[in-house]
A = this chain, B = another copy of it.
């Protein structure tokens, strides 16, 4: 996706190309692809190794254990968030980062939970928040206030994305890419995920919950925060 090598031959991105030397980056890249395609629980040291055309134990020379490998994937995900150019003011900056974090959930729905599940602080996350803090301070925010704002923004954006994923994610990841589901499809999909004894009243509530335009709703909460911030002053 991001990496364009301009090779003479069309990359088939299959087991054939897996004959390059084994690097940390390549492992992580294939690992993320595996999660995207088959889900987080399908990422197995053995499966990943065979995908790379390599002995399972070979992975352990690049990562201490599976946890460390997942930490690496999480760091990659954080690394996909980039700041807009220097000319954007603080409000647009916050809006941009929040939107990017939300969009990341659609780019990597099965991997997204790694953003918060890890037991380390991803370096990319620290660098991102530090760069944001610097920009906010330049526009007059106090240091601590800047930190609070960033933390609140991250919490909302990621939290919203995870709520959406946990209530809307189809079992098959195909829908995410294509056009929105029909009402019928949405309802049947919903019914599958409710206990059989759910009262009709609650089914209706659930349907309402999952029917809102997700993007609009995300913006609503984001606007709440930004409005509050402007009311309070920086």
A positions within 8 Å CB-CB of B: 113, 116-121, 123, 126-127, 129-130, 133, 143-144, 147-148, 151-152, 154-160, 162-163, 165-167, 169, 171, 190, 193-195, 198, 201-202, 205-206, 208-210, 212, 217, 220-221, 223-229, 231-232
Chain B contacts of A231 at CB under 8 A?
A: 227-228, 231
In the complex, what residues of B have CB within 8 A of residue A220's CB?
A: 148, 152
Number of copies: 2
Check A221/B123 contact, CB under 8 A, given A116-B166, A151-B212: no
Closest 6 CB pairs between A and B? A159-B159, A152-B221, A228-B228, A224-B228, A227-B228, A155-B160
Interchain nearest-CB distance for A33 vs B (Å) = 22
Bound-state CA distance A206–B155 (Å) is 16
Residues of B within 8 A of A228 (CB): 223-229, 231
Chain B residues closer than 8 Å to A227, beta-carbon distance: 227-228, 231-232
